[in-house]
Chains A and B, each alone.
Chain A
Amino acid sequence: MTAEEKQELIKKLLANRIAIADFHLLRKEINEFDLSLIIQKIYDLNDEQVRKIAALAPVMAKVDALKNAQRNKKFFDKVKNGFRADLANKIILVEGDSWFNYPILLSDVIDWVSMEKNMAVYSLASGGDWLLNMLSARRYIEQLSTMNPDVFIISGGGNDLVGENRIAAMVNPLGKSEEFMESAWARELMRISRTDFDPDRFNNGLTYLSKDFFALLMFFQLQYYYIFNGIFTGGTGDPKNGKFPGIKVITQGYDYPQPSRKLGFGLNPLKWYIPIVRKFLGHGSWLKTPLDMRGITNEEAQRDVLYAMIFLFNEMMIEVGEVFQGIAGYDCVFHIDSRGAVGDKGWTDELHPLPENFKRTGASFIQCINGIPSPNGLVYRVKT
């Protein structure tokens, strides 16, 4: 593919007018420079600005690092005691966001996974981290090479979508958007989807999604494809060049979040932390306020927007797994599907479930890591 042809396809992707075959073609040819260019266009910012807003706040980074240091000490304590000599034991590398590293107050997904005796977890996860950051920082690459893990778990995209009010740019407040119908790729995702869903909520949500959302969704897939292609084929597209034979990758796609600014006071003293988290840690500012700002003020419409976004995000991730099953020749990319598992009242704040619900997602990860087959193939549905 010539540079001009590639630019033409990127232009079509950004306009949400790219054909499926062209998107697949572009996926194979994409490099870091192209990804950087795409995100600048989607966010209407230059490269430096994008990286600046994607970077973690220094305080946040330190608190996250503290939790990772505790986890990684446990990792080395296990490894030093002959952990790897037993093949039933699993070395796990984790890269991700606040679902994987929520400091101090909540027990997140990885906290629950780390409690398993046969799992040694090395974590690079940081709450608030963007997928873009994970990809450009490339910390996971170094760790993959040195520790050759049995499992690589990655969670990213949530902050790219909701950080810095970005979600406001992903919606069309008139509720008359037909961008889904313009996206042959997204329609194909829905055609092959095997997941039950509420068509009324989904279709209502779709009417608010702008072309930038679909461009971002394709951008997410390009990023994941780029990461996984590096892992399974050394970036060549040929599995013979993969450096980590037999490695299992597990992704996740969040649950339908609840736009809200309510502080969540209640009578249960064990949930004392909810009003504190909601008051001081960004609740309302990720979803509710940006949607209000764009004029989508109806609560049902707000929830439906998020329903459609998260539904499509998960389907996009599931497709990546299926693509790499074909490329690597074995079941290599699994997806933990939390959609609908948390429920309306299972949230600490707009984005983060209560610890017990993180535990249920963690249980699906544990099942997948231990190789217990899922009735849904590469997808592990979190129990509701």
Chain B
Amino acid sequence: MKKVIFAIFLVIVFIMGYQGKLLERAGFGIINLELAKDGATGKNILQQWHGSPYGDGTLLDIAKQNVQLDYFFIVVYVSLLMALANSQMQREKSVWLNNLLRFNLLLAFLTGLLDVIENIMIQHNFHHVLTAEAYWNPYGVALAKFGLAALSVLVLLFSYLKSFLSFK
């Protein structure tokens, strides 16, 4: 099961990576938008995409597709993080690390939840690209999301490293 989820994860990463490259033609990727500290930067990024033609549309259309695909990506990476944490819980003898891996299940869920909220904010901004005062800044949500995701991955990596060293 983990292998299947991981394969889907890689395919989506590849597609989203390609979309990211396209967006960077305007000088900004989707991460730049998520982590734009102030509203002015965020609005500027949206307007750059809006003003950059791509095919019969603009780069903003690619950004919209990217966010739509991100909903599926959320399901996949949350499932993957949970599956990895759960699987590692069955190998981790240290109680505190085992408890942290269990905590990872919650972290993965919260990360996904924050990502959904962030996507909703970004989609709102897409719909109001020409109305500067309607901008919702996703910076705080994105920062919390990345923080939780990093913590989650760190716990996993630490447990893997510990298992590897004890195996040797």
Q: Residues of A at under 8 Å CB distance from B?
A: 70-71, 74, 104-107, 111-112, 114-115, 269-270, 272-273, 355-356, 359
B78 to chain A, nearest CB (A): 14
Closest chain-B Cβ to A73's Cβ sits at a distance in Å of: 10
Given contacts A115-B91, A269-B103, 10 further A-B contacts (CB under 8 A): A74-B90, A106-B102, A107-B98, A107-B102, A115-B90, A270-B99, A270-B100, A272-B103, A273-B102, A273-B105
Q: Give bound CA distance, A359 to B86, whole Å.
A: 16
Whether B103 and A355, one on each chain, are in contact in the complex, defined by CB atoms closer than 8 angstroms, is no
Contact with A along B109-127 (1 / 0, CB 8 A): 0000000000000000000
Q: Please indicate the chain B residues that have their CB under 8 angstroms from the CB of A104 in the complex.
A: 86, 105
Output the nearest chain B residue to A103 by Cβ-Cβ distance: B86
Contact A272 B106 (CB under 8 A): yes
A70 touches B87 (CB 8 A): yes
Cβ-defined contact, B90 with A111, below 8 A: yes
The CA of A112 and the CA of B95, in the complex, are separated in Å by 10
Are A270 and B102 in contact (CB-based, < 8 A)?
A: yes
- CB–CB B90/A107 < 8 A: yes
| A355→B90 contact, CB < 8 A | no
A71, A107, A269, A272: which contacts B89 (Cβ < 8 A)?
Answer: A107
Residues of chain A lying within 8 A (CB to CB) of residue B103: 269-270, 272
Contact at B102–A115, with CB atoms within 8 Å?
A: no
CB of B21 closer than 8 Å to a CB of A: no
CB distance from A336 to the nearest CB of B (A): 19
Note all chain B residues with C-beta closer than 8 A to A270: 99-100, 102-103
Label chain A's interface by main secondary structure: helix
Contact A356 B106 (CB under 8 A): no
Q: How far, in Å, is B93 (CB) from chain A's closest CB?
A: 5
Question: Can you list 17 contacts pairing A with B, beta carbon distance less than 8 Å?
Answer: A70-B90, A71-B90, A74-B90, A104-B86, A104-B105, A105-B102, A106-B102, A107-B89, A111-B90, A112-B93, A115-B90, A115-B92, A115-B93, A270-B99, A270-B100, A272-B106, A356-B99
A-B CB proximity, top 9 nearest: A270-B99, A356-B95, A272-B106, A115-B93, A270-B103, A111-B90, A107-B89, A107-B98, A104-B86
Q: Is the CB of A114 within 8 A of B90?
A: yes
Question: Chain B contacts of A115 at CB under 8 A?
Answer: 90-93
What is the distance, in angstroms, from A281's C-beta to the closest C-beta of chain B? 15
Q: Give the complex CA separation of A356 and B102 in angstroms.
A: 12
Closest Cβ of chain B to A278, distance in Å, is 15
- The interface residues of chain B lying within 8 Å CB-to-CB of A272 are 103, 106
Contact of B105 among A70, A105, A107 (CB under 8 A): A105
Q: Which residue of A lies closest to B99 (CB)?
A: A270
Chain B residue contacts of A74, Cβ below 8 A: 90
Which residues of chain B are near A359, meaning CB under 8 Å? 95
Contacts of A111 in B (CB 8 A): 89-90
Q: How far is the CA of A107 from the CA of B98 in the complex (A)?
A: 8
Chain A hits for B99, CB < 8 A: 270, 355-356
- In this complex, what residue of A is CB-closest to B101? A107
Q: How far is the CA of A106 from the CA of B92 in the complex (A)?
A: 13
Residue of A nearest to B95 (CB): A356
Chain B: minimal CB distance from A348 (Å): 11
Bound form: Cα–Cα A270–B97 in Å: 10
Contact yes or no, A355 B105, CB < 8 A: no
Q: Which single residue of chain B is at the shortest CB-CB distance from A104?
A: B86
Question: When chains A and B are docked, how far (Å) is the Cα of A279 from the Cα of B100?
Answer: 22
In the complex, what distance in Å separates the CA atom of A364 from the CA atom of B102? 23
Nearest CB in chain B to that of A106: its residue: B102
Q: In this complex, what residue of B is CB-closest to A69? A: B1
Distance from A122 Cβ to chain B, minimum over Cβ atoms (Å): 15
- In the complex, what distance in Å separates the CA atom of A359 from the CA atom of B91? 13
- Whether the Cβ atoms of B106 and A273 lie closer than 8 Å is yes
Q: Which residues of A contact B98 (CB under 8 A)?
A: 107, 355
- In the complex formed, the residue of B with least CB distance to A273 is B102
**How far does the alpha carbon of A105 sit from the alpha carbon of B101 in the complex, in Å?**
10
Closest-CB distance, B1 to chain A (whole angstroms): 8
The complex places the Cα of A111 from the Cα of B102 at a distance, in Å, of: 13
- Chain A residues with CB under 8 Å of B87's CB are 70
| B residues less than 8 Å from A106 (CB atoms) | 102
Whole-angstrom distance between the Cβ of B125 and the nearest chain A Cβ: 32
Q: Which A residues are CB-close (under 8 A) to B100?
A: 270
Set of chain A residues within 8 Å of B90, measured between Cβ atoms: 70-71, 74, 107, 111, 114-115
Interchain CA distance A20-B151 in the complex, whole Å: 61
- Give complex CA distance A70, B95 in Å: 21
Query: How near does chain B come to A105, taking the closest CB pair, in angstroms?
Result: 7
